[in-house]
Amino acid sequence: MSVSAIPLQIARAGWGSYNQSLQKHPLLTKAITAAVGFSIGDIIAQLSTEPKRDYNLSRTLRMGAFGLLFAGPLQGHVWFNLLDKSISPRNPTKPWAVVSKMAADQLLMAPLGTACFFAWTKVTEGKANETVPFIEAKLFDTIQTGWKLWVPAHLINFAAVPSSQRVLYTNLVAIVWTYILSQAAAGGVK
């Protein structure tokens, strides 16, 4: 085996292990995947802010915890399974089914998930009394911003990504979204 083939072999072994974990422990695997995605998104958001601020590890841990406890299990596992079982389970990639799933996600789960994210942020910062005004001030604009990313992302998701890989796919996209959410939570999205 050549030295250049080693990274590819490692990647294949990692991919195989990830898929085995999805089969044996789907909820836990999706929760951990979301925790990693949310954490990476927050790290990128913090390191790219202008003007530069000190890195806030507790913020990254809060973001990762949100992915672990909410985004992975509820959105990534329960919600996607519900959509797959409820909307055209026999023909899940038909155009009308794909558009219906995307619309349901963006009109129902996106507002709920974003409101929960903002509430989580305020409560875990010790500012629970700011939760409702913050959600009222940020929710609609954040959802509209999210549509620019998530509508096309979910059209691809529901049309082409195998259901077992949706959480991984959405968490790769969510790295960008977490950056946007982190900026919104810090006051950057108006």
The answer to whether the beta carbons of residues 112 and 165 sit under 8 Å apart is no
Instruction: Read off the pTM.
Output: 0.86
> The tokens 């038909």 sit on which residue?
94
The answer to whether the beta carbons of residues 159 and 21 sit under 8 Å apart is no
Q: Give domain limits for the chain.
A: 26-185
pLDDT in tens, 135-151: 999 999 999 989 999 99
Model confidence at 190, in pLDDT bands (50, 70, 90)? very low
Residue 3: what pLDDT?
Answer: 65
pLDDT averaged over the chain? Answer: 90
Cα distances (angstroms) measured from residue 112 to each of 17, 93, 128, 142, 152: 32, 25, 18, 12, 19
pLDDT in tens, 147-188: 999 999 999 999 999 988 898 899 899 888 877 776 666 665
Higher pLDDT among residues 129 and 190, named by residue: 129
